[in-house]
């Protein structure tokens, strides 16, 4: 098998034909004839010379003797087509070589002519082969163009879909902000929960995509409060049983609002379950332990932390360290131990200062 380096020569539009034959008189006759009918002609007397010529220039057509001193035409057909996929190869065979010529055509030669060559017949065969070559080139160009179009359209569609997804989330976030803006004690709550939850998620070693899902869920976790009566939402005293049941419905309402946004499947699960508790006493499904999605566990803890560190009419705010200590007492019942460990790490190492700074600028 011959190996040929890939070509770097570009098609300059000339119809160059290579004549490969070990007999010089045959080469000369063919060269004269082809020149007369408008071809630029190069010749080779052996397989190695043929490959050298093929590496040197772009060939449209090759007349290839089946028997060469240094190799068979059959092997050479493959090497030449590997070098120039659409080249029109016509085999020149002796009468008893018809079987091998057929094999050459299976490997990509376009035709074969039996020696001695009838020149008008050669002219017709070359015309047919070059027309076939043009068709193949056009087909390949159309195919390549189609593939480029498909790739480009696919990328555009992905960009558009991503933009729409981003806009839909941003719109919902704006709704949450509007809802929280009415209540000075809630203002910025979801944004703070989102940032802290994302830090906890990263501390727990979750992947980038999951961290962003947790952040998004943090921003949207209380969107269902849109469906809660303002008199209950704004009440600054203990809630009646009926009122508490009504408030609890915000997780289901939130999941319903987000349900059409199919790209938020994980996020919706986190929103729905952010009031579940490890001991199974949470809502809406009474899930416990590991059955609670990890993002929901994190948001639940971040929400408790935010409540403890926010001043309320009925409660002074705790320092971050006090809140972490208080929450330690709640591990296993309200807070998952692994989430608490990560929260303590975030607050102790770097979270406290950043978080406090942000709180100060928001207050
Ligand atoms: Fe909530």
Torsion of CA 168, 172, 178, 184, to 10 degrees: -140
CA of 224 to the centre of ligand 1 (A): 8
CA of 218 to the centre of ligand 1 (A): 10
CA of 38 to the centre of ligand 1 (A): 83
Blockwise average pLDDT, block size 10, the chain, 363 residues:
38 75 94 93 95 92 92 88 92 81 88 91 95 94 95 96 92 91 86 96 97 97 93 86 95 96 95 97 95 97 94 81 93 96 89 57 54
Q: What is the pTM of this model?
A: 0.66
- CA distances 198 to 27, 97, 167, 186, 221, Å, are 77, 75, 20, 19, 13
- CA distances 349 to 157, 194, 200, 321, 346, Å, are 42, 19, 12, 12, 6
Task: Look at residue 2 in the predicted model and tell me its pLDDT.
Answer: 40
61-90 burial, b for 16+ CB within 10 Å, e for fewer? bbbbbbebeebebbebbbbbbebbebbbbb
Say if CB 216 and CB 195 are below 8 A apart. Answer: no
CA of 339 to the centre of ligand 1 (A): 17
CA of 351 to the centre of ligand 1 (A): 22
Task: Look at residue 3 in the predicted model and tell me its pLDDT.
Answer: 40
Largest CA distance in the chain: 111
Task: Look at residue 357 in the predicted model and tell me its pLDDT.
Answer: 60
Contacts of 350 (CB under 8 A, 6+ apart): none
């Amino acid at each position: 098998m011959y190996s040929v380096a890939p070509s770097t020569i570009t098609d300059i539009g000339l119809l160059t034909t290579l004549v490969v034959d070990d007999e010089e008189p045959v080469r000369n006759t063919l060269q004269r004839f082809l020149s007369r009918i408008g071809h630029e002609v190069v010749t080779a007397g052996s397989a190695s010379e043929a490959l050298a010529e093929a590496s040197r220039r772009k060939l449209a057509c090759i007349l290839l003797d089946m028997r060469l001193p240094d190799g068979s035409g059959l092997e050479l057909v493959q090497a030449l087509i590997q070098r120039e996929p659409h080249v029109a190869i016509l085999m020149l065979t002796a009468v008893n070589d018809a079987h091998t010529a057929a094999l050459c055509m299976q490997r990509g030669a376009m035709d074969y002519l039996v020696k001695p060559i009838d020149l008008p017949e050669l002219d017709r065969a070359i015309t047919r082969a070059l027309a076939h070559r043009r068709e193949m080139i056009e087909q390949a160009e159309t195919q390549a163009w189609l593939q480029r179009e498909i790739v480009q359209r696919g990328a555009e569609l992905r960009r558009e879909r991503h933009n729409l997804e981003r806009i839909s989330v941003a719109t919902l976030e704006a709704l949450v902000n509007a809802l929280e803006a009415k209540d000075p004690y809630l203002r910025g709550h979801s944004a703070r929960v989102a940032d802290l939850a994302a830090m906890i998620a990263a501390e727990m070693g979750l992947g980038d995509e999951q961290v962003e899902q947790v952040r998004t869920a943090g921003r949207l976790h209380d969107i269902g409060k849109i469906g809660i009566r303002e008199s209950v939402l704004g009440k600054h005293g203990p809630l009646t049983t009926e009122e508490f049941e009504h408030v609890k419905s915000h997780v289901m309402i939130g999941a319903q609002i987000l349900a059409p946004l199919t790209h938020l499947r994980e996020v919706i699960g986190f929103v729905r379950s952010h009031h579940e508790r490890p001991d199974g006493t949470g809502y809406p499904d009474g899930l416990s332990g590991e059955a609670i999605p990890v993002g929901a566990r994190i948001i639940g803890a971040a929400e408790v932390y935010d409540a403890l560190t926010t001043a309320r009419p009925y409660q002074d705010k705790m320092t971050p360290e006090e809140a972490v200590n208080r929450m330690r007492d709640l591990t296993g019942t309200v807070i998952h131990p692994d989430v608490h460990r990560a929260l303590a790490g975030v607050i102790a190492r770097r979270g406290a200062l950043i978080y406090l700074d942000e709180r100060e600028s928001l207050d």
